[in-house]
Amino acid sequence: MSEFFGSFCDEFYTSTRLFLKLDLPLERETILHFFDRIRKEFPSMRKFRRRDDGCLMLEEDADPSSPRRWLRLDAASLRFGHSSPSDTDSIRQLGAVILEHAPYHLTFSELDFDHLEVVYGFDLEYQGNHDQLVAETFWADHPLASLALGDDAHQVIDAQPYLGIALTPNCDEQAYFEVKSRTSTYEVRTGNFEVQPLSVLLTLRQYWGFDEDRSLVEVHQALCDRADLLAADRVVPTLVNPLAQAIASRS
């Protein structure tokens, strides 16, 4: 890929979420052994904390503007991600290490897997009404324009396109495309807008139970491969670039 995804937005990030059918045994010795094993591969991941919601985090203690890896354990899910990765290889490397060691240390197996998700996120900073921007960018020449941009519409307050498609005949592999606004009605009412990220999200999802005969690492790699193609061929030209151009024209 000649240009990495970070060059098309203010921040590019990825996350992976493995959802389980049974709760994880979040015992002290189990968690410490697992986190120590991950830290051996990524020594900079040394910040360990428990959040208010009870989940356990292992993350890099880095500057917010620098690339940062993180790993999170909830009662029924394993999550990890990488903000501002330098390339797609680093995404796959993190996934390969975590998903290879997690079943051994956390004692779960294919029978327990519900689905695995890979999310690619593109953040575009914008100080203004995100929903108005989205509506004007994508719906100006659309039949919905008469609803969202008609004479009786003072301001658009909710325009967050969300589309899901099945990538296989039995629907076990799916893709979701989403534009997420962060503008509040208070900001619209007062006209005082904060600089906030307008997010474009691509989610690839693989369900188990359809004669799946691949390891977690193999499934993760395949989802990343598919996400790379969809992001380059569909998400960036269809969603990210038009929004970036619209933001630039208003600055």
Q: Which residues sit opposite 121 in a β-bridge?
A: 13, 201
Domain 5-250 has CATH 3.30.160.110: yes
Distance of alpha carbon 175 from alpha carbon 172, whole angstroms:
10
Q: How far, in Å, are 68, 121, 140, 155, 166 from residue 205 at the CA level?
A: 23, 15, 31, 34, 10
Distance of alpha carbon 193 from alpha carbon 191, whole angstroms:
6
Beta strands 68-73 and 45-50 are unpaired
pLDDT per residue as tens digits for the range 172-192: 999 999 999 999 999 999 999
pLDDT per residue as tens digits for the range 106-154: 888 888 899 999 999 999 999 999 999 999 999 888 887 778 777 787 8
Distance of alpha carbon 198 from alpha carbon 18, whole angstroms:
25
**Averaged over 240-248, what is the pLDDT?**
97
